[in-house]
A and B are shown apart, each in its own frame.
Chain A
Amino acid sequence: MAPVHHFLYLGAFLFSTGLIVIITKRNTIMVLLGLELMLNASNLNLVAFNSLHPGSLQGQMFALFVIVVAVCEAAVGLAIVLRVYRQYRTSVPDHVNELNQ
């Protein structure tokens, strides 16, 4: 079995990638994808740390719970993006700045 820190490196890499995607991508869809990446990175960490405590299931359970929430979030997020696109004919969040004007 691979030592746990390899999973942590992977989690960190994924998290950073997700963060960068969120910050740099202009499209909302891509931002949502970055978000998914970050959630999955945290899931990976949860699962990896759970392996250090054999016999307990909190890590896995929590990861499952996150996946469920992520699915819900993706569904609501995509629906909002769709509505926003209908309304403003754009899916770039910076262009939706009605309050700012």
Chain B
Amino acid sequence: MQPYLISLLIFIPLLAAFLGLFLPATSTTSFRTLALTANVLQVIVLVVMLSHFHPGGLQLVELKPWITLNMGSWGVLKASYFVGVDGLSLPLVALAVFVLLVATVSSWKITENVKGYFILLLILNGAIIGSFTALDFLLFYLFFEFMLLPMFFLIAIWGGPRREYASIKFFLYTLLGSVLILIVLIALYVSVQEPSGSAPLVHSFNLLHMADASNFIPHALLDPHHISKLGPLSFRAWAFLLLVIGFGIKLPMVPLHTWLPDAHVEAPTPISVILAALLLKIGGYGLARIAFPIFPEAAIDLGWFVGLLGVISIIYGGLNAMASKDLKRLIAYSSVSHMGFVLLGLSSLTAEGTAGAVYQMFSHGLISAMLFLLAGVLSDRTANRTIAHYSGLATKMPTYTAFVLIAFFASLGLPGFSGFIAEVMIFLGAFKSSSVGGPLHESLAIIATSGLVIGAAYYLWTMQRMFFGVFNLKGQMSPEQLPDLNRREYIMLVPLAVAVLVFGIFPQPVLSIIDPYAQHFAEFVLRSGKSITP
């Protein structure tokens, strides 16, 4: 059983999607049951996985030959089905399973074309888990692209009024990112060989091999020992930048973020939840898994740039959130701001910063899921999310207000919630970076603290405008439209709130999983990056 756990996790939803094809389209409940069953099975598998996992390196690895093509004098193309989890991916996989379960429950509201919806959702599910566990670049890329189509249709069919614009924007943006990643994928493919060294030459997509400088073919394009330059930067630095842009689009990183607010505003609630909680994380995951370890010397040279982009994202996203008039747009921009912390933490190349970045991804997944569910509560009731149209909701919907309060304060980094732990560690790491040879200057961390103030400002201002004051509605809404939370919403929100709180007070269980990875990451990138730099 143990060796197939990850495959189970990936293929349960795909199998369920396949089964769904044979169910009659009219039976709404059967699809809900199917999706829910798949999710519950995944939760069970995850629990087994967690029980088998011991903090440390890569575990639960599955390595099967997948594509082996002999191309004569061009060597052998070799891609494998190579999956595994470590301190970086396990928290994200756990988050994914949890959030997807919540998203399925919140999909109860979907009534049109249920069959298509749930099948797409299940495919998306499998692709997300696959992306987080794949250790072969080609396999990763496959899953990465595989997420794109279901997402596109889920926004374009079940979305809001401007869904076509939003979905196409999302698609084109992400596709651009994918193309950049593909370029690096190919460049790496031609530059890396299997470590055996003997003839015939075996080109491999194995990410672990790519991260080892000794596996590069001498004088190949990306060979770290014979760096060739293109303009002011080496090819390797360009490749790193392409990856940063490619994953930065997904993250999203200012100025490549404008697909996010539109996609979020138009996407149906469960899709917003998945988008914010999981898809964004793949950007950060890709940077930590691929860009930084494979191009460590570029990470050191250009880390300041990545960190700067992170700080810009933090502040720019926060300011934009402040000026947003739509609640979902505000939350979307707050995501931009929070994902900036991930960039800052990763580029610090310290154990604290890295662990903080991974923890931030984990925690932001929970918090943003909660925020988007809460925004969905409002748009389900009135289809109106304009902040200025509400006031004094606290008297009308006290429970809802309480949850919004929790989510807002969790998101603005109040201690006791998981976001605080992450942000503090990122700050500590970013500030410490230069003193341990990392690329970030102290001033970046100092400037980033203004993000805390901006975060408090926009959330509390929203709180004041929408929830405090005298109860009043504008824009053709009636108070009868706004009952307090129902039981289903309650069931979705309580676990998230509890998780945010528990992981804020007792971070150690998750941190002990992340810790070995973070240490290794920071130490490895710094060491091998320094050894490459002439």
A–B contact with Cβ pairs below 8 Å: the answer is: no
Which residues from chain B sit less than 8 Å from chain A, CB to CB? none
Residues of A within 8 A of B (CB): none
